[in-house]
């Protein structure tokens, strides 16, 4: 028997619905972040289009291209060993034509060795989801606050507070499950709605700003570790202040350079 027996697969991920501890998913964008996530034992790694915000300096995920997603997915894929690997499909890569959606999903899987792709949206995206699943590529859904819909939503706002809106999201959840998603992210929805959907659907729900009632949780790597200055979203719990620590380390090194104590004799070649 060959392969990594510890590797998380799509069927194993699905089996965790209602069984065992909640699933843990973290974003990663390169070799260092992937190695750290794997060493910490996460269940799944998401190459998120959030790289547009945390790496490329954009105000939204909309400018992120297929080439950029492929570049980072390839890097993560080289370092990933055991975690389930999911890659975000960027804006407009699955909105126009189901056949184009399949080609783009296949490109991301081909360059990275990913186990699945992630698609935002509900009933409007059912045709794309079905086509990608029919091509034997597993799809993770994403409902609620969908960052690629930021223009239509008028900003990053909690979704599903009104009864009609909550019902629409519940119907979207049923529709994408019927279309074939193996799991779904619920972002920026009230706890009551997240709990209802988690109880209604047969696939794992992964919360971000949703509820501990979800079957798992996901956060952005840089948010979790405080790698960027400034405030974090309400749903983020920062487990480190990496930015401040990095600044202090760089300052110490800068001082050593200016004082000519770096490099020392044992740090140079004869």
Per-residue pLDDT of 162-173, as tens digits, reads 999 999 999 999
- Rounded to whole angstroms, the Cα distance separating 218 from 220 reads 7
The CA distances from residue 125 to 83, 106, 245, in Å, are 27, 17, 43
pLDDT digits (tens, 9 = 90+) for 17-46: 988 899 999 999 999 999 999 999 999 999
Q: What average pLDDT does this structure show over 68-90? A: 98
**What DSSP element (H or E) covers 142?**
strand 139-144
In the set 100, 120, 167, 187, the catalytic residue is 187
Would you say residue 1 has pLDDT above 50?
no
Q: Where are the beta strands (DSSP E) in the chain?
A: 23-27, 44-47, 84-88, 116-118, 139-144, 183-187, 205-208, 216-219
- pTM of the entire structure? 0.96
Within 8 A by CB and 6+ apart from 15, the residues are none
Would you say residue 3 has pLDDT above 80?
no
pLDDT digits (tens, 9 = 90+) for 109-160: 999 999 999 999 999 999 999 999 999 999 999 999 999 999 999 999 999 9
Work out the percent of the chain whose per-residue pLDDT is above 90.
96
Specify the pairing of strand 205-208 against strand 183-187.
parallel
Burial of 263 (0-12, 13-18, 19+ CB in 10 A): exposed
Q: Which of 64, 144, 76, 75 is nearest to 104 (CA)?
A: 64
Mean pLDDT taken over the chain: 96
Compute the C-alpha angle 189/195/196, nearest 5°.
95
With bands split at pLDDT 50, 70 and 90, how would you rate the model's confidence at 5?
low
187 counts as catalytic: yes
pLDDT digits (tens, 9 = 90+) for 213-265: 999 999 999 999 999 999 999 999 999 999 999 999 999 999 999 999 999 99
Q: Which residues pair with 216 in a beta bridge?
A: 23, 206
For the chain, give the number of residues.
270
């Amino acid at each position: 028997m060959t392969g990594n027996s510890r590797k998380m697969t799509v069927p194993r991920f699905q089996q965790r619905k209602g069984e065992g501890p909640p699933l843990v998913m973290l974003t990663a964008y390169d070799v260092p972040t992937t190695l750290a996530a794997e060493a910490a034992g996460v269940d799944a790694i998401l190459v998120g289009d959030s790289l547009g915000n945390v790496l490329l300096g954009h105000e939204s995920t909309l400018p992120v291209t297929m080439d950029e997603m492929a570049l980072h997915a390839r890097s993560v894929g080289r370092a990933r060993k055991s975690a389930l690997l999911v890659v975000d499909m960027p804006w407009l890569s699955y909105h126009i034509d189901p056949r184009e959606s399949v080609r783009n999903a296949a490109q991301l899987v081909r360059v990275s060795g990913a186990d699945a792709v992630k698609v935002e949206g509900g009933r409007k995206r059912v045709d794309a989801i079905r086509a990608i699943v029919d091509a034997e590529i597993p799809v993770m859904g994403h409902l609620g606050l969908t960052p690629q819909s930021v223009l239509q939503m008028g900003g990053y706002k909690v979704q599903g507070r009104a009864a009609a809106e909550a019902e629409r999201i519940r119907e979207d959840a049923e529709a994408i499950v019927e279309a074939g998603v193996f799991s779904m992210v619920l972002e920026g929805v009230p706890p009551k709605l997240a709990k209802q959907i988690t109880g209604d659907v047969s696939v794992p729900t992964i919360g971000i700003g949703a509820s501990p009632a979800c079957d798992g949780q996901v956060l952005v790597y840089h948010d979790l570790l405080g790698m960027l200055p400034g405030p974090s979203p309400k749903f983020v719990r920062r487990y480190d202040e990496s930015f401040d620590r990095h600044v202090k380390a760089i300052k110490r090194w800068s001082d050593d350079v200016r004082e000519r104590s770096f490099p020392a004799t044992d740090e140079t070649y004869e």
